[in-house]
Every structure is written in C-alpha cells, then in structure tokens.
Amino acid sequence: MNVYAPKSWLVLALVFLIAGCGSSSPPVQITQDASSGQTTYKTRQMRLSEIEMTQGLEKGNRFYMQVVGTCTSQDCVPRSYDLHFVKEGMQSVQIEGRGVSLTIGTETLSWKDPQNRSVNRASTIRSGTFARVEVTSEQLSTIGGVDEVSGTVGGEGFSISHEARAPIRQLLRRLEEGPDESSQASSSQGD
C-alpha cells in the first residue's frame, strides 16, 4: 500500500495550477477602437539583456522593448511599427540622450535623439517608455528572425535574445495568416 501516492498527485496538480495561473500576458494583443476604426497590434514586452544603466539598489530596474503597430480598419496590416523602449522599476536613472541603434545580423540601423539637444544631453527617466523609433514591416521581420540583435539606447548597450523576440515572430505570423485563420487560431487557443 502506497500511502504517499495521493499526496504526490496533489502536489503535481498544484504545480500545474500554479504554472497555469502564473502565465504572463499573451505574446500579441490586438485591440480595435470602434469609434476611430483603428486597430492596434502590441507585443508583450521583451527583456533587454546586458544593459548596465543601473547600480546598487537600482538593479531592481528592468528594461524592455515592445512593438506597437496601428492601422485604420478591421483586420488591416500596419505599414510600419514603433519599437518602444520601456523602463520598469522604482529608481530613476540617467540616460545620455534618446538615440537608438540596432545591429541586426550584419546591418546597423540608427535613429538620432528626436529632441536633438545640443547642451546637457543627459536626462532622468523613471518608468514607462523613454525612447521610440519607427521601423518598416521588412525591418521588423529581420529583427524578429535573425539570430542576434544588439544595440544601444540612451547611450547604453544591450542585446535581446532570439527566444525573447518570439512575440515579434508571432505577430508577423498572425498578420500573414489573415483574419479568418488568426480568429480561428485565437478561438481554439482559449484563455
């Protein structure tokens, strides 16, 4: 007689329940504004690695990239996308401008600081989006698909792993499928 078998099943069920409840937001969120007819596609935030903007207690800060695309009509496909660079955490940090560069495979894309300040380029950021750049659909496809992506934002270097960029690939796949296939896929996935 195995007295411990029911307890092990209970523990296993509890592990699956916790894992299911702890799942993060969906990789791609689609919202439609009925009044404006605008459709917004937004990926989950993707963690930036190796970024060294913080020290000491500020190590609790986290930095992410998120893709947002908008277009006007239901089931439309955006022509371009914004890459939002986001800081989360309680401690404010200093950044050197808001310029962005991305090295995608062998290609480097650069965007200058939109504020184009000539004096005292350092600024303080707290939480939320602190830099935003626009990319084409083709550039986004390359960013999602290549093995390595690295770059700089606010004067600090970062990398973003292929695994972390999975929401980009899922967004592009959903847009390629079209409205019929993606609605069937989303309804079969459940919440």
Q: What is the pLDDT of residues 140-170, one digit of tens each?
A: 999 999 999 999 998 889 999 999 999 999 9
What is the reported pTM?
0.75
Of residues 177 and 84, which shows the higher confidence score? Answer: 84
* Cβ–Cβ under 8 Å, residues 64 and 42: no
- Under the banding of pLDDT at 50, 70 and 90, the label for residue 78 is very high
Angle, in degrees to the nearest 10, between helices 166-189 and 137-145: 90
| pLDDT value at residue 118 | 54
Output Rg (C-alpha) for the chain, integer angstroms.
20
Task: Please name every residue paired with 96 in a beta bridge, in sequence order, or none if there are none.
Answer: 122
| pLDDT value at residue 116 | 57
